Amino acid sequence: MEVLIASQAGFCFGVTRALELALAAREPPIYTLGPLVHNPLVINQLKERGIHPVSSVEEIREGSLLIRTHGVPPAIIEEAREKNLRVIDATCPLVKKIHGIVRNLREEGYRVAVIGHSRHPEVQGILGYSGEGSIVIEKEEEAAALPFQKKLGIVVQTTELTENFHKIAIRLLERAEECRIFNTICFATQERQRAALELAMIVDLMIIVGGKNSSNTRKLLEISQETGTTTYLVESAEELERGWFSGKKKIGLTGGASTPDEAIHRVKRMVESFGNTGL
Half-sphere exposure of 210 (CA within 13 A, CB side): 26
Q: Give the per-residue SS3 of 8-59.
A: CCCCCHHHHHHHHHHHHCCCCCEEEECCCCCCHHHHHHHHHCCEEEECCHHH
Minimum distance, C-beta of residue 228 to a second copy, in the bound complex (Å)? 25
Pairing mode of beta strands 205-209, 30-33 = unpaired
φ and ψ at residue 51, rounded to 5 degrees: -110, 115
φ and ψ at residue 153, rounded to 5 degrees: -105, 125
Pairing mode of beta strands 2-5, 250-255 = parallel
Minimum distance, C-beta of residue 126 to a second copy, in the bound complex (Å)? 16
Minimum distance, C-beta of residue 92 to a second copy, in the bound complex (Å)? 17
Minimum distance, C-beta of residue 210 to a second copy, in the bound complex (Å)? 26
Pairing mode of beta strands 30-33, 51-54 = parallel
Q: How far is CA 80 from CA 26, 103, 123, 152, in A?
A: 19, 21, 20, 33
Active-site residue numbers?
Answer: 122
User: What residues make contact with a second copy under the rule CB under 8 A?
Assistant: 162, 165-166, 169-170, 173-174, 176-183
Rounded distance between C-alpha atoms, residue 99 and residue 80, angstroms: 19
Minimum distance, C-beta of residue 246 to a second copy, in the bound complex (Å)? 41
Residues 6+ apart with CB under 8 A from 240: 207, 232, 234, 267, 270, 271, 274
